[in-house]
Amino acid sequence: METVSENACFGGTQGVYTHKSKACDCDMTFGLFLPEEAKWGAVPVLWYLSGLTCTHENAMTKAGAQQWAAEQGIALVFPDTSPRGEGVANDDAFDLGQGAGFYVNATQDPWAPHFRMWDYVTEELPVLIASNFAIDSARQAITGHSMGGHGALTIAMNIPDRFASVSAFSPIVNPTQSSWGRKQFGAYLGSDESQWSKHDATLLMNEKGFDGPILCDTGTSDQFLDLLMPESFAKACATRRQQSILRMQPGYDHSYFFVSSFMEEHIAFHAEALYAG
Protein backbone atom coordinates (compact mmCIF):
# COMPACT_ATOMS: atom_id res chain seq x y z
CA MET A 1 0.00 0.00 0.00
CA GLU A 2 1.28 3.46 -0.90
CA THR A 3 0.20 6.84 0.43
CA VAL A 4 -0.98 9.20 -2.30
CA SER A 5 -1.83 12.07 0.04
CA GLU A 6 -2.69 12.85 3.65
CA ASN A 7 -4.29 16.14 4.71
CA ALA A 8 -5.38 17.50 8.06
CA CYS A 9 -9.17 17.60 8.10
CA PHE A 10 -11.50 18.61 10.97
CA GLY A 11 -8.89 17.58 13.53
CA GLY A 12 -8.30 14.24 11.84
CA THR A 13 -6.69 13.07 8.61
CA GLN A 14 -8.09 12.60 5.11
CA GLY A 15 -5.88 10.15 3.30
CA VAL A 16 -5.79 8.65 -0.18
CA TYR A 17 -4.04 5.34 -0.70
CA THR A 18 -3.33 2.95 -3.56
CA HIS A 19 -2.56 -0.75 -3.52
CA LYS A 20 -2.36 -3.81 -5.73
CA SER A 21 -5.71 -5.57 -5.51
CA LYS A 22 -5.76 -9.35 -5.74
CA ALA A 23 -9.54 -9.39 -6.15
CA CYS A 24 -9.56 -6.96 -9.08
CA ASP A 25 -6.10 -7.85 -10.41
CA CYS A 26 -5.11 -4.20 -10.82
CA ASP A 27 -4.11 -1.17 -8.77
CA MET A 28 -6.98 0.24 -6.71
CA THR A 29 -7.32 3.57 -4.90
CA PHE A 30 -9.40 4.43 -1.83
CA GLY A 31 -9.95 7.37 0.48
CA LEU A 32 -9.97 7.06 4.27
CA PHE A 33 -10.90 9.73 6.80
CA LEU A 34 -9.70 9.10 10.33
CA PRO A 35 -11.05 11.33 13.11
CA GLU A 36 -8.78 12.68 15.82
CA GLU A 37 -9.82 9.86 18.17
CA ALA A 38 -7.98 7.37 15.95
CA LYS A 39 -4.71 8.75 17.36
CA TRP A 40 -5.50 7.04 20.67
CA GLY A 41 -7.45 3.94 19.73
CA ALA A 42 -9.64 2.10 17.25
CA VAL A 43 -12.73 3.94 16.01
CA PRO A 44 -15.97 2.74 14.38
CA VAL A 45 -16.17 2.96 10.61
CA LEU A 46 -18.78 3.99 8.06
CA TRP A 47 -18.36 2.72 4.50
CA TYR A 48 -19.51 5.04 1.71
CA LEU A 49 -20.11 3.43 -1.70
CA SER A 50 -20.32 5.87 -4.60
CA GLY A 51 -22.47 5.79 -7.73
CA LEU A 52 -22.08 5.56 -11.50
CA THR A 53 -19.15 7.46 -13.08
CA CYS A 54 -17.65 8.22 -9.65
CA THR A 55 -14.24 7.42 -8.22
CA HIS A 56 -13.15 7.40 -4.57
CA GLU A 57 -12.87 11.17 -4.84
CA ASN A 58 -16.46 12.28 -5.52
CA ALA A 59 -17.97 11.70 -2.09
CA MET A 60 -14.68 12.48 -0.40
CA THR A 61 -14.75 16.04 -1.79
CA LYS A 62 -18.47 16.72 -2.35
CA ALA A 63 -20.51 15.00 0.37
CA GLY A 64 -19.35 17.11 3.31
CA ALA A 65 -19.15 13.95 5.38
CA GLN A 66 -15.87 14.54 7.24
CA GLN A 67 -17.21 17.36 9.39
CA TRP A 68 -20.02 15.24 10.77
CA ALA A 69 -17.88 12.10 11.07
CA ALA A 70 -15.32 14.09 13.07
CA GLU A 71 -18.03 15.23 15.48
CA GLN A 72 -19.08 11.60 16.02
CA GLY A 73 -15.56 10.12 16.11
CA ILE A 74 -16.23 7.85 13.12
CA ALA A 75 -13.89 6.84 10.29
CA LEU A 76 -15.07 7.02 6.67
CA VAL A 77 -13.97 4.71 3.86
CA PHE A 78 -14.41 5.82 0.25
CA PRO A 79 -13.66 2.91 -2.11
CA ASP A 80 -13.51 3.30 -5.88
CA THR A 81 -16.49 2.12 -7.91
CA SER A 82 -14.67 -0.26 -10.27
CA PRO A 83 -11.30 -1.59 -11.37
CA ARG A 84 -9.35 0.70 -13.66
CA GLY A 85 -6.24 0.86 -15.77
CA GLU A 86 -4.64 -0.57 -18.87
CA GLY A 87 -6.02 -3.98 -19.75
CA VAL A 88 -9.24 -3.49 -17.74
CA ALA A 89 -12.35 -3.90 -19.92
CA ASN A 90 -14.47 -0.82 -20.55
CA ASP A 91 -17.54 0.33 -22.47
CA ASP A 92 -18.49 3.60 -24.14
CA ALA A 93 -21.68 3.79 -22.05
CA PHE A 94 -21.45 5.56 -18.68
CA ASP A 95 -23.40 2.80 -16.93
CA LEU A 96 -21.17 -0.16 -17.83
CA GLY A 97 -17.46 -0.81 -17.42
CA GLN A 98 -15.01 1.44 -15.60
CA GLY A 99 -16.86 3.60 -13.11
CA ALA A 100 -19.82 1.20 -13.10
CA GLY A 101 -18.83 -1.93 -11.21
CA PHE A 102 -22.26 -2.33 -9.55
CA TYR A 103 -20.59 -4.07 -6.58
CA VAL A 104 -20.87 -7.56 -8.08
CA ASN A 105 -18.41 -10.31 -9.02
CA ALA A 106 -18.64 -10.53 -12.80
CA THR A 107 -18.76 -14.02 -14.27
CA GLN A 108 -18.93 -13.06 -17.96
CA ASP A 109 -16.25 -11.98 -20.44
CA PRO A 110 -14.74 -9.47 -20.85
CA TRP A 111 -15.57 -8.38 -17.30
CA ALA A 112 -14.75 -11.47 -15.22
CA PRO A 113 -10.95 -11.01 -14.92
CA HIS A 114 -11.16 -7.67 -13.09
CA PHE A 115 -14.73 -6.75 -12.13
CA ARG A 116 -14.88 -8.44 -8.72
CA MET A 117 -16.07 -5.47 -6.71
CA TRP A 118 -18.11 -7.58 -4.29
CA ASP A 119 -15.01 -9.44 -3.09
CA TYR A 120 -13.00 -6.24 -3.09
CA VAL A 121 -15.41 -4.24 -0.93
CA THR A 122 -16.55 -7.03 1.40
CA GLU A 123 -13.31 -9.01 1.85
CA GLU A 124 -10.05 -7.56 0.56
CA LEU A 125 -10.36 -3.86 1.42
CA PRO A 126 -11.75 -4.40 4.96
CA VAL A 127 -8.81 -6.66 5.81
CA LEU A 128 -6.30 -4.19 4.34
CA ILE A 129 -7.74 -1.25 6.26
CA ALA A 130 -8.09 -3.11 9.55
CA SER A 131 -4.47 -4.26 9.25
CA ASN A 132 -3.07 -0.78 8.68
CA PHE A 133 -5.29 1.71 10.48
CA ALA A 134 -6.99 2.19 13.87
CA ILE A 135 -10.35 0.75 12.82
CA ASP A 136 -12.72 -1.15 15.11
CA SER A 137 -13.99 -3.93 12.83
CA ALA A 138 -16.63 -4.88 15.40
CA ARG A 139 -18.39 -1.54 14.82
CA GLN A 140 -19.20 -1.01 11.15
CA ALA A 141 -22.01 0.67 9.20
CA ILE A 142 -22.52 1.22 5.49
CA THR A 143 -24.11 3.82 3.22
CA GLY A 144 -23.99 4.84 -0.43
CA HIS A 145 -25.48 6.89 -3.25
CA SER A 146 -27.37 5.59 -6.32
CA MET A 147 -25.42 2.54 -7.54
CA GLY A 148 -23.60 2.77 -4.22
CA GLY A 149 -26.91 2.80 -2.35
CA HIS A 150 -27.74 -0.41 -4.18
CA GLY A 151 -24.38 -1.80 -3.06
CA ALA A 152 -24.82 -0.69 0.55
CA LEU A 153 -28.27 -2.26 0.92
CA THR A 154 -27.40 -5.53 -0.80
CA ILE A 155 -24.12 -5.98 1.05
CA ALA A 156 -25.77 -5.21 4.40
CA MET A 157 -28.52 -7.77 3.86
CA ASN A 158 -26.14 -10.43 2.56
CA ILE A 159 -23.70 -9.98 5.46
CA PRO A 160 -26.15 -9.14 8.26
CA ASP A 161 -23.85 -9.66 11.25
CA ARG A 162 -21.25 -7.16 10.05
CA PHE A 163 -23.12 -3.87 9.96
CA ALA A 164 -24.96 -2.14 12.79
CA SER A 165 -26.96 0.01 10.35
CA VAL A 166 -27.38 0.78 6.66
CA SER A 167 -28.51 3.90 4.83
CA ALA A 168 -28.72 5.07 1.24
CA PHE A 169 -29.19 8.18 -0.86
CA SER A 170 -31.24 7.68 -4.05
CA PRO A 171 -30.56 3.92 -4.11
CA ILE A 172 -31.28 1.65 -7.07
CA VAL A 173 -33.47 -0.76 -5.11
CA ASN A 174 -35.08 -3.09 -7.65
CA PRO A 175 -32.52 -3.49 -10.46
CA THR A 176 -33.83 -6.85 -11.68
CA GLN A 177 -36.99 -5.01 -12.74
CA SER A 178 -35.32 -1.86 -14.05
CA SER A 179 -33.48 -1.14 -17.27
CA TRP A 180 -30.84 0.33 -14.95
CA GLY A 181 -29.86 -3.06 -13.67
CA ARG A 182 -31.01 -5.62 -16.21
CA LYS A 183 -28.46 -4.33 -18.72
CA GLN A 184 -25.60 -4.47 -16.22
CA PHE A 185 -26.59 -7.75 -14.57
CA GLY A 186 -26.93 -9.39 -17.98
CA ALA A 187 -23.48 -8.16 -18.98
CA TYR A 188 -21.71 -8.98 -15.73
CA LEU A 189 -23.61 -12.03 -14.48
CA GLY A 190 -25.11 -13.59 -17.60
CA SER A 191 -28.64 -14.48 -18.62
CA ASP A 192 -29.46 -16.75 -15.65
CA GLU A 193 -31.58 -14.35 -13.61
CA SER A 194 -31.41 -16.59 -10.54
CA GLN A 195 -27.85 -15.25 -10.15
CA TRP A 196 -29.14 -11.68 -9.97
CA SER A 197 -31.36 -11.90 -6.89
CA LYS A 198 -28.61 -11.46 -4.26
CA HIS A 199 -27.95 -8.05 -5.79
CA ASP A 200 -31.54 -6.74 -5.64
CA ALA A 201 -32.43 -4.91 -2.41
CA THR A 202 -36.18 -5.38 -2.84
CA LEU A 203 -35.86 -9.14 -3.37
CA LEU A 204 -33.47 -9.40 -0.44
CA MET A 205 -35.87 -7.47 1.78
CA ASN A 206 -38.63 -9.91 0.87
CA GLU A 207 -36.36 -12.86 1.54
CA LYS A 208 -34.12 -11.81 4.43
CA GLY A 209 -34.63 -8.30 5.73
CA PHE A 210 -31.98 -6.64 7.88
CA ASP A 211 -31.41 -7.04 11.61
CA GLY A 212 -30.98 -3.35 12.29
CA PRO A 213 -32.19 0.11 11.29
CA ILE A 214 -32.41 1.31 7.66
CA LEU A 215 -32.58 4.91 6.43
CA CYS A 216 -33.18 5.84 2.78
CA ASP A 217 -33.61 9.29 1.27
CA THR A 218 -34.71 9.92 -2.33
CA GLY A 219 -35.60 13.24 -3.93
CA THR A 220 -39.02 13.80 -5.46
CA SER A 221 -37.33 15.65 -8.34
CA ASP A 222 -34.74 12.94 -8.95
CA GLN A 223 -34.32 12.70 -12.71
CA PHE A 224 -33.81 8.93 -12.43
CA LEU A 225 -36.76 8.22 -10.13
CA ASP A 226 -38.44 5.70 -12.45
CA LEU A 227 -35.20 3.68 -12.57
CA LEU A 228 -34.63 3.80 -8.81
CA MET A 229 -38.10 2.38 -7.99
CA PRO A 230 -38.24 3.41 -4.29
CA GLU A 231 -41.88 2.32 -4.06
CA SER A 232 -40.85 -1.32 -4.58
CA PHE A 233 -38.47 -1.27 -1.63
CA ALA A 234 -40.99 0.61 0.54
CA LYS A 235 -43.61 -2.07 -0.13
CA ALA A 236 -41.14 -4.84 0.72
CA CYS A 237 -40.18 -3.09 3.99
CA ALA A 238 -43.82 -2.65 4.94
CA THR A 239 -44.62 -6.29 4.17
CA ARG A 240 -41.72 -7.51 6.32
CA ARG A 241 -42.37 -4.83 8.95
CA GLN A 242 -38.72 -3.89 8.69
CA GLN A 243 -37.35 -1.23 11.01
CA SER A 244 -36.83 1.53 8.46
CA ILE A 245 -37.11 5.24 7.71
CA LEU A 246 -37.87 5.78 4.02
CA ARG A 247 -38.20 9.43 3.03
CA MET A 248 -39.08 11.23 -0.18
CA GLN A 249 -37.45 14.64 0.05
CA PRO A 250 -39.46 17.33 -1.80
CA GLY A 251 -37.67 19.16 -4.60
CA TYR A 252 -34.33 17.36 -4.36
CA ASP A 253 -32.64 15.70 -7.34
CA HIS A 254 -29.92 13.05 -7.78
CA SER A 255 -26.92 15.32 -7.23
CA TYR A 256 -24.37 15.74 -4.45
CA PHE A 257 -26.22 18.89 -3.43
CA PHE A 258 -28.91 16.46 -2.29
CA VAL A 259 -26.45 14.06 -0.65
CA SER A 260 -24.66 16.82 1.27
CA SER A 261 -27.99 18.27 2.45
CA PHE A 262 -28.81 15.12 4.43
CA MET A 263 -25.34 13.78 5.24
CA GLU A 264 -25.39 15.10 8.80
CA GLU A 265 -28.60 13.18 9.52
CA HIS A 266 -27.25 9.98 8.00
CA ILE A 267 -24.04 10.07 10.01
CA ALA A 268 -25.97 10.81 13.21
CA PHE A 269 -28.24 7.85 12.36
CA HIS A 270 -25.23 5.55 12.03
CA ALA A 271 -23.52 6.94 15.13
CA GLU A 272 -26.55 6.03 17.22
CA ALA A 273 -26.34 2.42 16.02
CA LEU A 274 -22.54 2.18 16.20
CA TYR A 275 -22.37 3.44 19.78
CA ALA A 276 -25.45 1.57 21.05
CA GLY A 277 -24.69 -0.62 24.01
Name every residue whose Cβ is closer than 8 Å to that of residue 235 and which is 6 or more positions away in sequence. 202
**Active-site annotation holds for 56:** no
**Active-site annotation holds for 146:** yes
**Active-site annotation holds for 131:** no
Q: Report DSSP letters for 147-214, one per residue.
A: HHHHHHHHHHHHSTTTEEEEEEES----GGGSHHHHHHHHHHH-S-GGGTGGG-HHHHHHHT--SS-E
What DSSP state is assigned to residue 96? Answer: S
Alpha-carbon gap, residue 122 to 100, rounded angstroms: 17
Which among 114, 167, 222, 232 is annotated as catalytic? 222
Which among 150, 254, 266, 270 is annotated as catalytic? 254
Contact 14, 60 (CB under 8 A): yes
Strand, coil or helix: 4: strand
Which among 146, 165, 170, 244 is annotated as catalytic? 146
Strand-strand pairing, 135-144 and 163-169: parallel
Neighbours of 183 (CB within 10 A): 14
Residues carrying an active site annotation: 146, 222, 254
